């Protein structure tokens, strides 16, 4: 049962950590959960899953992936013994589903028919965990994390076997961890904003400064993306596996050995599915309009989030508004100039983060897309051409060079200005 953040007197809002725990959110690591992912199962019968996933890049390059999965034994998730094992299975099988569909795309057509040994357990796991079908930001970045005995970070599973992919996933996760303090500080500020005593202004101001400081660190971490990720490797080798199934008009068939195989649309993995920045928009009073399409974009991204995170975003809408609290101090002529400046400063840092995000998308998506647009156009009927595929992942809109996505991201940035006060 989800927490009820509107219960101010004796509910979980008085205990931010307990409240977050109800939604599978960590006060230390934010939406990136609390600890490292496990890398093995207690039951040795799941060895085929582990072996195939750990050898995924080689199986793709040798064109043996599909035949390997086709020959798997039928394994039941009922033998998984913990939430951590279910989550590990979700990481592994989700990556294998996308690899099965998109492997060797430059030479072969997609294969949108998932065989029963992979399809059946994956559908059961998705239903049990209440997570998106396919891969998502949580399964490539938030949960795809290991820490070895020497303190070296890594990923549980990957498509390409490159250090670039590991860097991409870990950097995305580090942004989330850096933003955990902004999330908890904003939640505390919303709780405090329900009060009317004279200490409240100073406390909200202090918490808003913490929000700004944490967001500044998010930007620092995001810009490190450039240090270990080659745009060509990301765009041409990794990105094709991260996309949704929108380019497949009949969807993806999951063979379940029943009379009628079910067809599904799969989401993909994209940073737009980050719950952190949607939460901060809500808590700071940033509005995205229906007319611009940005409100619909935000909602569509929630379909690619774990259910607890999506519920959290719905539930925090009932919290007291920090922005309204600041406005009320101005109306009451409480000498709120410094409070307004601090509130605006937090929004400004969030905007500069989004500025950096636009720069990163330009470097890794828009520019490489522009360089290959002519070639893709000339090969539009080739099933291996990237012109046929949603280049931005998940339910994000298509467009040459990510143009529609790009305009949405720039618009999200402009919405920050509208939220400022004074």
Annotated binding-site members for heme b: 357
Output phi, psi for 179, to 5 deg: -90, 0
- Residue positions in the annotated binding site? 357
Cα–Cα distance, 383 to 108 (Å, whole number): 7
Tokens of 196: 């009317």
Cα–Cα distance, 177 to 59 (Å, whole number): 33
Tokens of 244: 């949704």
């Amino acid at each position: 049962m989800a927490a009820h953040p509107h219960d101010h007197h004796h509910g979980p809002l008085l205990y931010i950590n307990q409240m977050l725990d109800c939604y599978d959110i960590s006060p230390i690591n934010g939406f990136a959960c609390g600890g490292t992912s496990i890398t093995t199962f207690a039951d040795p019968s799941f060895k085929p899953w582990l072996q195939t996933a750990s050898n995924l890049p080689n199986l793709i390059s040798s064109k043996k992936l599909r035949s390997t999965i086709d020959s798997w034994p039928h394994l039941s998730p009922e033998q998984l013994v913990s939430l951590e094992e279910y989550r590990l299975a979700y990481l592994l099988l989700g990556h294998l589903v996308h690899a099965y569909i998109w492997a060797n795309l430059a030479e072969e057509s997609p294969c949108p028919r998932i065989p029963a040994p992979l399809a059946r357990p994956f559908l059961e796991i998705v239903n049990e965990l209440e997570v998106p079908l396919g891969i998502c930001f949580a399964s490539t970045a938030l949960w795809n994390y290991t820490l070895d005995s020497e303190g070296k970070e890594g990923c549980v599973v990957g498509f390409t076997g490159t250090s670039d992919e590991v860097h991409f996933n870990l950097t995305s996760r580090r942004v989330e961890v850096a933003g955990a303090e902004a999330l908890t500080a904003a939640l505390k500020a919303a709780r405090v904003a329900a009060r009317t005593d004279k200490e409240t202004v100073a406390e909200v101001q202090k918490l808003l400064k913490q929000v700004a400081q944490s967001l500044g660190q998010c930007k620092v971490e995001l810009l490190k993306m450039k240090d270990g990720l080659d745009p060509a490797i990301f765009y041409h080798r990794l990105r094709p596996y991260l996309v949704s199934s929108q380019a497949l008009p009949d969807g993806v068939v999951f063979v379940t050995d029943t009379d009628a195989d079910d067809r599904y649309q799969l989401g993909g993995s994209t940073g737009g599915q980050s719950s952190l920045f949607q939460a901060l928009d809500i808590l700071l009073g940033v509005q995205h309009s229906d007319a611009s399409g940005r409100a619909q974009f935000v909602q569509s991204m929630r379909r690619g989030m774990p259910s607890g995170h999506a519920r959290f975003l719905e539930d925090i809408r009932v919290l007291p508004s920090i922005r309204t609290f600041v406005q009320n101090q101005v109306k009451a002529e409480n000498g709120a100039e410094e409070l307004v400046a601090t509130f605006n400063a937090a929004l400004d840092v969030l905007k500069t983060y989004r500025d950096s995000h636009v720069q990163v998308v330009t470097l890794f998506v828009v520019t490489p897309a522009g360089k290959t647009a002519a070639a893709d156009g000339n090969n539009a009927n080739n099933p291996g051409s990237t012109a046929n595929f949603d280049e931005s992942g998940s339910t994000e809109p298509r467009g040459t060079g990510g143009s529609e996505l790009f305009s949405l991201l720039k618009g999200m940035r402009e919405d920050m200005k509208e939220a400022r006060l004074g």
